[in-house]
Structure 1
Amino acid sequence: MQLTDEFIRNEGHRADCYRFLSACYSYSIQDLKDEGLKNLIASLQPVCGEAVSFARDMDEALASAEVLSLKVDHSALFIGPFKLISPPYGSAYLEEGRAVMGGTTVDAIKFYKSAGVEMDPQQKDIPDHIAVELE
């Protein structure tokens, strides 16, 4: 196999890893429970073998967890209702006063456009949401 073929194959695995990691920040937990981490484990092996054991641990924990409990935890961390513990938006950490949809979000949009990346029109999260950026 040529070096170029190996590089292309590994970049495909790396892209899959980012896509599966993106799913970890999604509210759609059942999809992740059904297959996401198994696919992440397979994609991690060639590009970051040392991370495989951590992904396996996550997969085991996810298998025994209740979907409703995971959704409650996800909501508490990333959605609210009272205090947002861990905002999933880059702008919340980069903008003064933890403002969302500020200049850094606009910068992310410009960067996506300059790289030829288009947002999925059905995407409901703002462009600097960690799941969007990993995708």
Structure 2
Amino acid sequence: MLHVSERKQLYRFLAGLFAYPDQELVAALTRGEAEQAARLAGIGDIPPKLPKADPLADLETGFTDLFINRLGGVPVPPYGSVYLEQAGILMGASTLKVLDAYRKESLSLERSSEPPDYLATELEFLYYLVGQEEEALQQRQVETARAFSLKQQAFVNKLLSPWLPVFCHRLEAVPGGHPLYRWGGKLLRRFGELEVEWLERLP
């Protein structure tokens, strides 16, 4: 069972991994955060190494190819509505439910150009909720911590876990997909399974 601080750490790393790559991600990978995430989630696969020459450009190319634009269609769209809506449309009813969850926490997406159900944003939201739970526990506010745990449970069960396994399996199976993101799909799938198991235990 993962400690609340370890869950927060995994959500933070995964949110960064599945956002458009930047120097902060390169620095995190250089520090060995991918290896640490693999240990926490209990996957045996070692994350692939980035090329020494211009690793950011390598990540940008791989990310674009998988999640933004590829000849013949985007292999793995990182939006929940694509998997949850009958017609696979963006900004469907499920997207509005995600947005409502953010608004209930007084969180704004004004600086984001992505839809609310963008995978990285959903992971960042769960990082926030777990962080609030951890803070409440540190202050011995047990009921407040429980309330944030239940919010995590509701969000994961209703809005993330129903589509996450399909997304991860598609990502792992993409021919010619960037090896780091394919590895990330395995990490995300395993952590998603652990989260469902953990959150189901809440009384």
TM score, norm. by length of structure 2? 0.50
Name the aligned partner's letter for residue 31 of structure 1.
E
- SS of residue matched to 1:27: coil
Report matched runs for 1:1-135 at 5 Å.
Answer: 10-36=3-29, 38-39=32-33, 41-42=35-36, 48=40, 50-51=42-43, 53-54=44-45, 57-58=46-47, 60-62=48-50, 64=52, 66-80=55-69, 82=71, 83-114=73-104, 116=105, 118-135=107-124
Which 4+ stretches in 1 moved above 6 angstroms? none
Q: Residue 117 of structure 1: CA displacement?
A: 5.3
- Residues 120 and 42 of structure 1, relative CA distance in 2, 3 Å threshold: farther
Whether contact under 8 Å (2:13, 2:37) holds in the other structure is: no
Aligned counterpart, 2:147: none
Q: Distance in 2 between matches of 1:13 and 1:109?
A: 26
- SS of residue matched to 1:61: coil
Percent identity of the aligned residues?
27
CA shift digits 1:8-39 (9 cap, x unpaired): xx212211210111111122243212125634
Name the aligned partner's letter for residue 42 of structure 2.
E
Whether contact under 8 Å (1:79, 1:87) holds in the other structure is: yes
TM score, norm. by length of structure 1? 0.71
Aligned counterpart, 2:137: none
Can you give the 5+ residue segments of structure 1 that lack an aligned partner in the other structure?
1-6
Q: Distance in 1 between matches of 2:37 and 2:58?
A: 27
Q: Residue 63 of structure 1: CA displacement?
A: 5.6
Can you give the 5+ residue segments of structure 2 that lack an aligned partner in the other structure?
125-203
- Residues 119 and 40 of structure 1, relative CA distance in 2, 3 Å threshold: farther
Whether contact under 8 Å (1:21, 1:40) holds in the other structure is: no
Paired positions, count: 120
